[in-house]
Amino acid sequence: MPELPEVETTLRGIAPHVVGQQISQCVVRETRLRYPVPPLLPTLIVGGEIAAIWRRGKYLLFAIGGGHLLVHLGMSGSLRIVAKGTPPGRHDHVDLELESNLCLRYTDPRRFGVISWVEGDPLRHSLLCSLGPEPLTENFSGEYLYQLSRKRKVPVKSFVMNANVVVGVGNIYANEALFLAGIHPLRQAGSLSQKAYGRLADTITVVLAAAIEQGGTTLRDFVGGDGKPGYFSQSLNVYGRGGQPCVRCGRPLQKDRLGQRTTVYCGYCQR
């Protein structure tokens, strides 16, 4: 379940091994991801150099020639550096072999991820053009959330998980940030005060930054290693703790379904 911290950690982990490298071969074993992997992908990128990697929301962008390789890890995807010639497993769908002895391998058991190609300015791509601000930049603030939420009736949790509002706030961190801000997840987005959104913007920022920090230590080695996500080892206050005592007041945490997502909160501490 890669959330933004894990995507950022992946970026930092693989960048030293792939930036500046020429792609010597591209092997696509499975094209059925969220969208079909472009049949011409190998033709488009083999021989090209990965000039840079960057991130927009949970999308990774590899600058190659006049376009970008667009990668999303979905629910279960990962990118790992393996030695060239490492036998592929059942869910190792795409390999980018580099001029070094290394190979960038995309693995995704549930196939919710994306591997696509964008010609020209990637930010104009339909998947990226309407994304909200990055939560760890100054474009994101309580004032921004407050203004955008006026007259919105969706639950505030759904509001902050909407990538068109702000990118990178997945289910785990939405639950955690709302708990830390003392805000009930089912509150209508438009009913929250500017002060409440100030707290929420702060807790979103803090939780994501802390997770990136932790992911950075847990996932430092992207060559070899097991690739286990780091955020599970961080202390989660509510996620996965339905029915257990609230760390603040001791009352049992409530667990609801909101949309299709599990929502855990303290009905006493979160108003």
Partner DNA sequence: ACGAAGCCCTGCAAGC
Partner DNA sequence: TGCTTGCAGGGCTTCG
Q: Indicate which residues carry an active-site annotation.
A: 2-3, 58, 261
How many chain residues bind DNA (CB under 7 A)? 36
Positions 208 through 267 that interact with DNA (CB under 7 A): 239, 257, 259-262
What is the closest distance, in whole angstroms, from the C-beta atom of residue 21 to DNA in the complex?
A: 26
10 Å CB burial of residue 156 (0-12, 13-18, 19+) is buried
Q: Kindly tell me which residue out of 16, 29, 54, 75 binds DNA, with binding defined by CB under 7 A.
A: 75
* 28: contact with DNA by CB under 7 A: no
Binding segment (CB under 7 A) for DNA, from list 48-56, 137-145, 152-160, 245-253: 152-160
What is the closest distance, in whole angstroms, from the C-beta atom of residue 257 to DNA in the complex?
A: 7
Rounded to a whole number of angstroms, the CA Rg of the chain reads: 20
Q: Kindly tell me which residue out of 34, 46, 202, 256 binds DNA, with binding defined by CB under 7 A.
A: 34
Positions 37 through 56 that interact with DNA (CB under 7 A): none
The one-letter code for the residue type at 77 is G
* Alpha carbons 37 and 43: distance in angstroms, whole number: 13
Other Cβ atoms within 10 Å of 173 Cβ, number: 25
Q: Kindly tell me which residue out of 94, 115, 160, 161 binds DNA, with binding defined by CB under 7 A.
A: 161
What is the closest distance, in whole angstroms, from the C-beta atom of residue 111 to DNA in the complex?
A: 4
**What's CA 90's distance to the chain center, in Å?**
23
